[in-house]
Chain A
Amino acid sequence: MPTNILMPALSPTMTEGNLAKWHKQEGDAVEPGDILAEIETDKATMEVEAVDEGVLGKILIPDGSEGVQVNQVIGIIVAEGEDVSVETQPLAEPHSPAASEDPPPPAQTQTTEPPPKPSALPVEVDYDGETVRSTVREALRDAMAEELRNDDRVFLMGEEVAQYEGAYKVSQGLLDEFGDKRVIDTPITEHGFTGVGVGAAFLGLRPIVEFMTFNFAMQAMDQLINSAAKTNYMSGGQMGCPIVFRGPNGSAARVGAQHSQCFASWYAHIPGLKVVSPWSAADSKGLLKSSIRDPNPIIFLENELLYGGSFDVPTDPNWLVPIGKAKVVREGSDVTITAFSIMVGKALEAADALASEGIEAEVIDLRTLRPLDTQTIVESVQKTNRVVSVEEGWPFAGIGAEISATIMEQAFDWLDAPVGRVTAEDVPLPYAANLEALALPQVDDIVAAAKAVSYRN
């Protein structure tokens, strides 16, 4: 059975090349793996190897030919004993569906289904059980302790999480209760231990990886994005990565530019991740528990300045807060303010100030940034017709930019004013106290923005 030898491509973009030299001549025996010929382009040369055995029956494109089209038949291999002299015509191209089809169109919306609408989110059950006053710090620790008790696969690893009990004392008491098998001090090697956590998750454990702060997670960005977020997709759903990365995000106080950054929009950009950023202690506990139970990689952004804040927290260990659901923390009819993490507190202060001037603000704590609860935002906009987005991160391509675009797409006709954005100033965070205050969003900035979209001075 004669076999065609086709002009190969060196790369997907190559369309033609030169046939530099035949290494076999007509009539030569050929074994799989034998080098048949050399082809070249202006950039590279490559050897063509035989895949089938037989005899090189006919050379159709001689040495030194230029401009040979890819997939053109350059020679024919026949079986031993077959008469080579009769094989003078190139055989018909073998049918190959992918090669004969037009190149697939680029991934654009007209050829693909729109993204499915997020399924109905579980409704947060109103809790009327027992509560206890606790700090965000304690609530996070209690969430981890309950889930460590609940599931042997859960463990905590990170720098200073065990013997030191956390650089910010979030893991107090965990080593004592759970031992060093499950509460593990790592060396200062974010890239390495993030990969270790991802590998452990691939094998079915449920790691909680603490970053002392998310500033240091930049060292581990490849493992977070390329390994944790993408592998389930690339494996056709075989390799889920149930892992929580948590730690303080955003600016603390006077620690300068390298230790003061909000990464919310960085992670929220990535398909395959869920991004959670709570404000209250109750939400910190309920959302961290949901995150540990979730089968996906979760980026859980805390805030150092909130750790000491006290809130009423449900004591029921089965109480959870659903990921992907925002919360209206203050109802109002005049303007919607969206915020997350530490900015929720500032937004509530701003709402008080606005109320004294006759403007009733509705404050939404986003709580989860990916998937974003657009339904709650849009419903609020339909009521207030005005929006201010507040975040501690920078303006360019920030969470506010995404919210603004979403409202434009889904609630354009309800808007009475352009969406307002309150963000950090577009500079690395300065150290000097006065400059730092100028660079970060303050209550007065939120008040001013709310008045601006309300056309009030």
Chain B
Amino acid sequence: MANKSKRAAAKAPKPRKRAAKSSKTNGAGAADLQNTSESLLAFYRDMLLIRRFEERAGQLYGMGLIGGFCHLYIGQEAVVVGMQAVIKETDAVITSYRDHGHMLACGMDPKGVMAELTGRSGGYSRGKGGSMHMFSTEKNFFGGHGIVGAQVSIGTGLAFAQRYNGEGAITLAYFGDGAANQGQVHESFNMAALWNLPVVYVIENNKYGMGTSVQRASAAEDLSQLGAGRGIFGVQVDGMDVEAVKEAGSMAAEKCRAGDGPVILEMMTYRYRGHSMSDPANYRSKEEVAKVRDEQDPITNLKSLILKRKIIDEDQFKEIDKEIRDVVSEAADFAQNSPEPDPSELYTDVLVEA
């Protein structure tokens, strides 16, 4: 059983089907399919920012500056960066506790995110939320939820409100392969399909719900088809390829905007780190991790593509890398120097003042 799951996981990020071409539904989407040099470079920067940010967060955790649970997104960067490229500022995003990448992709300030990780007053929740509970209503990022699957019902409610308001906005509700087996996820699928809600369910299948492989947790092999019985269109997508993610995301977003939601996208991806900082990940082999890292790393592969197309050269990559590192260092400095919340904050925000 263990061998089977390891073998399956090591080569798992292969999509079973390709997403339908978005060119069939929208001309603008067709133009977007040919990603410009600028957009490829933007993908690279955005993914690298997440990776460097997470590495630094891991370091600060190791130094005791970040407490509690801390779930890193390293390896999965292409999913959130590709999906963010297909939505508008007025669309809503919601996810689980593995949320740092989503916040950075939504345009939240790395300083504010890192300072929340260190529990300081400069954090997005003024230090009262932590790694798993961060929000920015300004950026339409609705968390950051600590209970597996809860964000799926809430995200369905965001889409309910979007349809109610009739403004054409959509919701991206992210969750993992582990959450896919939660009852409320299926309750949400049912209501979203009944009411044609504009929600894209993005399943980030990173092969393990904590230490349990998908094969040991789910009777369904193809999570993209979990909504099939309710008529929800779903596809598997190579979540290690930012261009494939964007293509599928574009199709899904257009379906939702056209009133043909919801849609399920199963992103075949991989997390390089343990479930959280304190997880040694003994349930998989080092070779398995190394193989994905060597062959499918979304950042390395995009860099190779950019070099192959001669969009920029190695020296220019070094400049980008330095810029990103400076942004992350600035965030880390801010997060360490921002003061702890004032004791008077203890009793604020329990209730909204009427």
Name A's B-contacting residues (CB within 8 A): 6-12, 32-33, 43-46, 48-49, 51-52, 70-71, 96-99, 104, 107, 111-113, 115-116, 155, 181, 186-187, 189, 191-205, 222-223, 226-227, 231-240, 242, 271-272, 274, 293-296
Q: A8-B62, A71-B63, A198-B153 are in contact. Are A187 and B164 (CB under 8 A)?
A: no
**CB-CB contacts below 8 Å: B75-98 with A:** 92, 94
Query: B45 at the A/B interface (Cβ < 8 Å)?
Result: no
Contacts A/B (CB < 8 Å), 7 sampled: A49-B55, A99-B64, A112-B343, A191-B184, A205-B165, A239-B135, A296-B351
Residue of A nearest to B185 (CB): A192
B interface residues, Cβ below 8 angstroms from A: 51-52, 55-56, 58-59, 61-65, 67-68, 92, 94, 118, 123-130, 133-137, 142-147, 150, 152-162, 164-165, 183-184, 186-188, 190-191, 194, 274, 277-280, 282, 321, 325, 336-337, 340, 343-344, 346-354
Once the chains bind, are A205 and B190 in contact (CB under 8 Å)? no
Q: Which of A9, A70, A295 is close to B354, meaning CB atoms less than 8 Å apart?
A: A295
CA of A44 to CA of B351 in the docked complex: distance in angstroms? 41
**Further contacts, 14 of them, CB under 8 A, given A52-B325, A296-B352:** A10-B280, A46-B274, A96-B65, A191-B153, A192-B183, A196-B191, A222-B150, A233-B128, A234-B129, A234-B144, A236-B124, A236-B126, A237-B349, A242-B352
A98 touches B336 (CB 8 A): yes
| Nearest CB in chain B: distance from A253 CB, A | 31
Q: How far is the CA of A194 from the CA of B157 in the complex (A)?
A: 9
Contact with A194, one of B124, B133, B153, B346 (Cβ below 8 angstroms): B153
Determine whether the beta carbon of B343 is less than 8 Å from that of A272: no
Chain B residues near A70 (CB-CB < 8 A): 62, 64
Contact of A199 among B127, B146, B158, B279 (CB under 8 A): B158
Check B118 against A236 for contact (C-beta < 8 Å).
no
The chain A residue sitting closest to B58, CB to CB, is A49
B143 partner residues in chain A, CB cutoff 8 A = 231, 235, 239
Contact A295 B352 (CB under 8 A): yes
Does A240 lie within 8 Å of B352, measured CB to CB? yes
User: Taking CB as reference atom, which chain B residue is nearest A41?
Assistant: B280
What's the Cα separation between A199 and B172 when bound, in Å? Answer: 13
Within 8 Å CB of A234, what residues of B? 125, 128-130, 133, 135, 144
- What's the minimum C-beta distance from A142 to chain B, rounded to whole angstroms? 22
Question: Shortest distance in angstroms between B200's beta carbon and chain A's nearest beta carbon?
Answer: 15
Q: Which residues of A are found within 8 Å of B129, using beta-carbon distances?
A: 234-236
Contacts of A112 in B (CB 8 A): 343, 346
Residues of A within 8 A of B118 (CB): 98
Given the known inter-chain contacts A113-B347, A203-B92, A239-B142, please indicate yes or no for A8 contacting B59, CB distance below 8 A. Answer: yes
- On chain A, the residues within 8 Å of B142 by CB distance are 199, 202-203, 239
What residue in chain B is nearest A198 (Cβ atoms)?
A: B154
Given A32-B325, A238-B136, answer yes or no on A113-B125 (Cβ-Cβ < 8 Å).
no
Q: Are B161 and A205 in contact (CB under 8 A)?
A: yes
Residue on A nearest B349 in the bound complex, by CB: A237
- Nearest-neighbour CB distance to chain B for A68, whole angstroms, equals 12
| Nearest 5 interchain pairs by C-beta | A199-B157, A195-B153, A8-B62, A192-B187, A44-B280
Q: Which of B55, B130, B191 contacts A186 (CB 8 A)?
A: B191
Q: Which of A99, A113, A199, A205 contacts B156 (CB 8 A)?
A: A199
Please give me the residue from chain B that is nearest to A95 by CB atom: B336
**C-alpha gap A452/B118 in the complex (Å):** 56
A residues within 8 A CB of B51? 33
Q: Which residues of A contact B146 (CB under 8 A)?
A: 226
With a 10 A CB-CB cut-off, give which of A6, A111, A235 has the most chain B CB atoms.
A235
- In whole angstroms, how far apart are the Cα atoms of A186 and B160 in the complex? 12
Tell me the minimal C-beta distance from B196 to chain A in angstroms. Answer: 13
Bound-state CA distance A49–B165 (Å) is 47
Task: Return B338 CB to nearest CB of chain A, in Å.
Answer: 10
Are A196 and B188 neighbours in the complex by a CB distance under 8 Å? yes
What is the bound-complex CA distance between A193 and B198, given in angstroms? 16
Interface core residue of A192, A200, A242, A293 (most chain B CB under 10 Å)? A192
Bound CA span A273–B51, Å:
38
Q: Which of A104, A195, A197 touches B152 (beta carbons < 8 Å)?
A: A195
Across-interface contacts of A203 in B (CB, < 8 A): 92, 142, 157-158, 161-162, 165
Q: Which of A192, A197, A238, A293 contacts B184 (CB 8 A)?
A: A192
Bound Cα distance A12, B159 (Å): 38
Chain B residues with CB below 8 A from A222, complex form: 147, 150
Kindly state the separation between the CA atoms of A200 and B143 in the bound complex, as whole angstroms.
14
Residues in A with CB closer than 8 Å to B135 are 231, 234-235, 238-239
Contact in complex: A187, B191 (CB < 8 Å): yes
Are A199 and B187 also in contact (CB < 8 A) when A98-B118, A232-B352 are? no
Q: B231 to nearest A CB, angstroms?
A: 15
Q: A96-B65, A99-B64, A199-B160 are in contact. Are A233 and B343 (CB under 8 A)?
A: no
Residues of B within 8 A of A239 (CB): 135, 137, 142-143
Contact B125 A236 (CB under 8 A): yes
| Contacts A189-B190, A238-B137 given; does A45 touch B161 at CB 8 Å | no
Contacts of A201 in B (CB 8 A): 157
B21 → A minimal CB distance (Å):
31
Chain A: minimal CB distance from B315 (Å) = 15
Q: How far is the CA of A97 from the CA of B118 in the complex (A)?
A: 11
The CA-CA distance from A155 to B64 in the complex, in Å, is: 47
Knowing A44-B279, A44-B280, A222-B150 touch, does A51 contact B348 (C-beta < 8 A)?
A: no
* B190 adjacent to A12 (CB under 8 Å): no
Q: Which residue of A lies closest to B343 (CB)?
A: A112
Complex Cα spacing A44 to B187, Å: 37
Asked if B156 and A45 make an inter-chain contact with CB atoms under 8 angstroms apart, the answer reads: no
Contact A235 B191 (CB under 8 A): no
User: What residues of B have a CB within 8 angstroms of the CB of A274 in the complex?
Assistant: 351
Closest CB-CB distance, A118 to chain B, in whole Å?
A: 10
Contact A233 B277 (CB under 8 A): no
Chain A residues whose CB sits within 8 angstroms of the CB of B336 once the complex forms: 96-98
Q: A187-B190, A238-B137 are in contact. Are A155 and B164 (CB under 8 A)?
A: yes
Give CA–CA (A306, B154) in the complex, Å: 33
